[in-house]
Protein backbone atom coordinates (compact mmCIF):
# COMPACT_ATOMS: atom_id res chain seq x y z
CA UNK A 1 0.00 0.00 0.00
CA UNK A 2 2.98 2.35 0.45
CA UNK A 3 3.23 2.65 -3.31
CA UNK A 4 -0.39 2.15 -4.30
CA UNK A 5 -1.80 5.06 -2.26
CA UNK A 6 0.56 7.73 -3.73
CA UNK A 7 -0.14 6.31 -7.20
CA UNK A 8 -3.91 6.54 -6.67
CA UNK A 9 -3.56 10.11 -5.33
CA UNK A 10 -1.40 11.09 -8.34
CA UNK A 11 -3.89 9.49 -10.75
CA UNK A 12 -7.06 11.03 -9.27
CA UNK A 13 -5.58 14.54 -8.81
CA UNK A 14 -3.90 14.47 -12.24
CA UNK A 15 -6.99 13.27 -14.11
CA UNK A 16 -9.25 15.89 -12.43
CA UNK A 17 -6.84 18.72 -13.29
CA UNK A 18 -6.49 17.55 -16.91
CA UNK A 19 -10.27 17.14 -17.30
CA UNK A 20 -10.85 20.59 -15.83
CA UNK A 21 -8.98 22.05 -18.79
CA UNK A 22 -11.84 20.79 -20.99
CA UNK A 23 -14.74 20.68 -18.50
CA UNK A 24 -15.38 24.04 -16.79
CA UNK A 25 -17.80 22.50 -14.29
CA UNK A 26 -14.83 20.76 -12.64
CA UNK A 27 -13.10 24.06 -11.81
CA UNK A 28 -14.27 24.14 -8.15
CA UNK A 29 -12.87 20.62 -7.56
CA UNK A 30 -9.62 21.44 -9.35
CA UNK A 31 -9.25 24.69 -7.37
CA UNK A 32 -9.77 22.80 -4.14
CA UNK A 33 -7.03 20.30 -5.06
CA UNK A 34 -4.68 23.17 -5.88
CA UNK A 35 -5.52 24.82 -2.55
CA UNK A 36 -4.61 21.59 -0.76
CA UNK A 37 -1.29 21.69 -2.59
CA UNK A 38 -0.72 25.25 -1.31
CA UNK A 39 -1.43 24.10 2.25
CA UNK A 40 1.12 21.29 1.85
CA UNK A 41 3.66 23.80 0.45
CA UNK A 42 3.09 26.11 3.44
CA UNK A 43 3.87 23.31 5.89
CA UNK A 44 6.83 22.16 3.77
CA UNK A 45 8.42 25.61 4.26
CA UNK A 46 8.67 24.81 7.98
CA UNK A 47 10.29 21.47 7.12
CA UNK A 48 12.82 23.28 4.89
CA UNK A 49 13.61 25.92 7.51
CA UNK A 50 14.09 23.24 10.17
CA UNK A 51 16.38 21.26 7.83
CA UNK A 52 18.46 24.38 7.11
CA UNK A 53 18.87 25.28 10.78
CA UNK A 54 19.59 21.71 11.90
CA UNK A 55 22.33 21.16 9.28
CA UNK A 56 24.01 24.48 10.06
CA UNK A 57 23.80 23.86 13.81
CA UNK A 58 25.49 20.47 13.26
CA UNK A 59 28.14 22.20 11.18
CA UNK A 60 28.95 24.59 14.02
CA UNK A 61 28.81 21.88 16.65
CA UNK A 62 31.24 19.59 14.79
CA UNK A 63 33.41 22.54 13.65
CA UNK A 64 33.20 21.47 10.00
CA UNK A 65 34.85 23.44 7.15
CA UNK A 66 33.83 27.13 7.12
CA UNK A 67 31.67 26.69 10.24
CA UNK A 68 31.75 30.44 11.13
CA UNK A 69 29.61 31.05 8.02
CA UNK A 70 26.99 28.71 9.50
CA UNK A 71 26.80 30.99 12.58
CA UNK A 72 26.27 33.93 10.24
CA UNK A 73 23.46 32.06 8.50
CA UNK A 74 21.70 31.17 11.77
CA UNK A 75 22.00 34.75 13.06
CA UNK A 76 20.75 36.11 9.71
CA UNK A 77 17.84 33.67 9.66
CA UNK A 78 16.58 34.64 13.12
CA UNK A 79 17.22 38.35 12.59
CA UNK A 80 15.08 38.40 9.43
CA UNK A 81 12.41 36.15 10.94
CA UNK A 82 12.11 38.19 14.15
CA UNK A 83 12.15 41.51 12.25
CA UNK A 84 9.28 40.26 10.08
CA UNK A 85 7.28 38.72 12.92
CA UNK A 86 7.61 41.67 15.29
CA UNK A 87 7.58 44.72 13.01
CA UNK A 88 5.80 43.34 9.94
CA UNK A 89 7.08 43.44 6.38
CA UNK A 90 5.62 46.74 5.16
CA UNK A 91 7.65 49.61 3.75
CA UNK A 92 9.76 51.37 6.36
CA UNK A 93 9.92 48.43 8.77
CA UNK A 94 13.14 46.80 9.99
CA UNK A 95 12.46 43.81 7.73
CA UNK A 96 12.12 46.11 4.75
CA UNK A 97 15.40 47.85 5.65
CA UNK A 98 17.23 44.52 6.03
CA UNK A 99 15.81 43.34 2.72
CA UNK A 100 16.72 46.51 0.83
CA UNK A 101 20.22 46.94 2.28
CA UNK A 102 21.35 43.32 2.74
CA UNK A 103 19.34 40.75 0.78
CA UNK A 104 18.77 42.81 -2.36
CA UNK A 105 22.42 43.96 -2.82
CA UNK A 106 23.68 40.41 -2.20
CA UNK A 107 21.27 39.02 -4.82
CA UNK A 108 22.31 41.76 -7.26
CA UNK A 109 25.97 40.92 -6.68
CA UNK A 110 25.37 37.28 -7.58
CA UNK A 111 23.37 38.30 -10.64
CA UNK A 112 26.15 40.68 -11.71
CA UNK A 113 28.60 37.75 -11.80
CA UNK A 114 26.68 36.61 -14.86
CA UNK A 115 28.41 39.27 -16.99
CA UNK A 116 31.82 37.71 -16.32
CA UNK A 117 30.54 34.17 -16.80
CA UNK A 118 28.94 35.12 -20.14
CA UNK A 119 32.34 36.40 -21.29
CA UNK A 120 34.20 33.23 -20.24
CA UNK A 121 31.54 30.89 -21.68
CA UNK A 122 31.37 32.88 -24.93
CA UNK A 123 35.13 32.70 -25.28
CA UNK A 124 35.01 28.90 -25.16
CA UNK A 125 31.86 28.48 -27.26
CA UNK A 126 32.88 30.89 -30.03
CA UNK A 127 36.35 29.52 -30.71
CA UNK A 128 36.27 28.56 -34.39
CA UNK A 129 37.54 25.00 -34.02
CA UNK A 130 34.81 23.15 -35.91
CA UNK A 131 32.33 24.02 -38.66
CA UNK A 132 29.52 24.21 -36.07
CA UNK A 133 31.36 26.60 -33.76
CA UNK A 134 32.46 28.73 -36.74
CA UNK A 135 28.81 29.03 -37.85
CA UNK A 136 27.87 29.94 -34.26
CA UNK A 137 30.60 32.57 -34.18
CA UNK A 138 29.50 34.07 -37.51
CA UNK A 139 25.82 34.14 -36.49
CA UNK A 140 26.64 35.70 -33.12
CA UNK A 141 28.86 38.33 -34.77
CA UNK A 142 26.12 39.33 -37.24
CA UNK A 143 23.40 39.42 -34.55
CA UNK A 144 25.56 41.50 -32.21
CA UNK A 145 26.47 43.88 -35.03
CA UNK A 146 22.79 44.18 -35.99
CA UNK A 147 21.76 44.93 -32.38
CA UNK A 148 24.06 47.94 -31.89
CA UNK A 149 23.61 51.35 -33.58
CA UNK A 150 27.07 51.26 -35.18
CA UNK A 151 26.04 48.08 -37.03
CA UNK A 152 23.83 50.04 -39.43
CA UNK A 153 25.75 53.36 -39.39
CA UNK A 154 28.84 52.07 -41.22
CA UNK A 155 26.82 50.54 -44.09
CA UNK A 156 27.23 52.75 -47.22
CA UNK A 157 24.15 53.60 -49.32
CA UNK A 158 25.22 51.36 -52.23
CA UNK A 159 25.59 48.30 -49.93
CA UNK A 160 23.00 45.58 -50.82
CA UNK A 161 20.23 45.58 -48.19
CA UNK A 162 20.36 41.75 -47.87
CA UNK A 163 23.98 42.00 -46.70
CA UNK A 164 23.35 44.68 -44.06
CA UNK A 165 23.77 43.46 -40.43
CA UNK A 166 20.33 44.79 -39.55
CA UNK A 167 18.55 42.77 -42.25
CA UNK A 168 20.64 39.64 -41.63
CA UNK A 169 20.09 39.90 -37.86
CA UNK A 170 16.31 40.02 -38.33
CA UNK A 171 16.41 36.95 -40.63
CA UNK A 172 18.59 34.99 -38.18
CA UNK A 173 16.40 35.88 -35.19
CA UNK A 174 12.97 35.66 -36.84
CA UNK A 175 13.53 32.59 -39.01
CA UNK A 176 16.43 30.47 -37.75
CA UNK A 177 16.17 31.25 -34.04
CA UNK A 178 12.36 31.20 -33.84
CA UNK A 179 12.13 27.94 -35.78
CA UNK A 180 14.72 26.33 -33.47
CA UNK A 181 12.96 27.52 -30.33
CA UNK A 182 9.59 26.29 -31.59
CA UNK A 183 11.06 22.88 -32.44
CA UNK A 184 12.39 22.62 -28.88
CA UNK A 185 9.04 23.70 -27.44
CA UNK A 186 7.07 21.21 -29.56
CA UNK A 187 9.42 18.38 -28.53
CA UNK A 188 9.25 19.44 -24.87
CA UNK A 189 5.44 19.64 -24.95
CA UNK A 190 5.23 16.11 -26.31
CA UNK A 191 7.65 15.04 -23.60
CA UNK A 192 5.40 16.65 -20.99
CA UNK A 193 2.37 14.71 -22.28
CA UNK A 194 4.34 11.46 -22.36
CA UNK A 195 5.81 11.94 -18.86
CA UNK A 196 2.41 12.90 -17.44
CA UNK A 197 0.79 9.80 -18.95
CA UNK A 198 3.55 7.55 -17.60
CA UNK A 199 3.12 8.96 -14.08
CA UNK A 200 -0.70 8.96 -14.17
CA UNK A 201 -0.85 5.37 -15.39
CA UNK A 202 1.71 4.27 -12.82
CA UNK A 203 4.21 3.14 -15.46
CA UNK A 204 6.83 5.64 -14.26
CA UNK A 205 7.45 4.76 -10.65
CA UNK A 206 11.05 5.80 -10.12
CA UNK A 207 9.82 8.58 -7.81
CA UNK A 208 8.45 5.83 -5.58
CA UNK A 209 11.70 3.91 -5.67
CA UNK A 210 10.46 1.02 -7.78
CA UNK A 211 11.79 -0.19 -11.10
Q: Which of 47, 131, 153, 163 binds other proteins (CB under 8 A)?
A: 47
Is residue 28 a contact point for other proteins (CB under 8 A)?
yes
CB of 152 to other proteins, least distance (A): 25
Q: Which of 8, 9, 89, 103 binds other proteins (CB under 8 A)?
A: 103
Within 13 A of 208's CA, how many CA atoms are on the CB side? 18
Is residue 128 a contact point for other proteins (CB under 8 A)?
no
Q: Which stretch binds other proteins (CB under 8 A): 23-31, 88-96, 147-155, 157-165?
A: 23-31
DSSP letter string over the chain? -TTHHHHHHHHHHHHHHHHHHH-GGGHHHHHHHHHHHHHHHHHHHHHHHHHHHHHHHHHHHTT-TTHHHHHHHHHHHHHHHHHHHHH-SSTTSHHHHHIIIIIHHHHHHHHHHHHHHHHHHHHHHT--SSHHHHHHHHHHHHHHHHHSHHHHHS--TTS-GGGSHHHHHHHIIIIIIHHHHHHHHHHHHHHHHHHHHHHHTT---GGGT--
Is residue 106 a contact point for other proteins (CB under 8 A)?
yes
Residue closer to other proteins (CB basis): 24 or 156: 24
Residue closer to other proteins (CB basis): 154 or 182: 182
Is residue 100 a contact point for other proteins (CB under 8 A)?
no
CB of 153 to other proteins, least distance (A): 28
Are the beta carbons of 60 and 67 closer than 8 angstroms? yes
CA distance 53 to 119: 37
Q: Which of 75, 121, 128, 175 binds other proteins (CB under 8 A)?
A: 121
CB of 163 to other proteins, least distance (A): 26
Contacts of 30 (CB under 8 A, 6+ apart): 16, 17, 20
Q: Which stretch binds other proteins (CB under 8 A): 33-41, 83-91, 143-151, 153-161?
A: 33-41
Contacts with other proteins, residue ranges (CB under 8 A): 21-28, 37, 40-41, 44-49, 51-52, 55, 58, 65-66, 103, 106-108, 110-111, 113-114, 117-118, 120-122, 124-125, 180-181, 184-188, 190-199, 203-204, 206-211
Amino acid sequence: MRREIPMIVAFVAGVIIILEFFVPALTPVSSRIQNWYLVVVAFAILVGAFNLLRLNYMKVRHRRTDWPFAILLIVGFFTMALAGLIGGIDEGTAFDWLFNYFVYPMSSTMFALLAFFVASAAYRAFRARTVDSTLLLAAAFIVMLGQVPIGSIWVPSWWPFFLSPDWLKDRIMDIGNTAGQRAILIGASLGVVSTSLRILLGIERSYLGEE
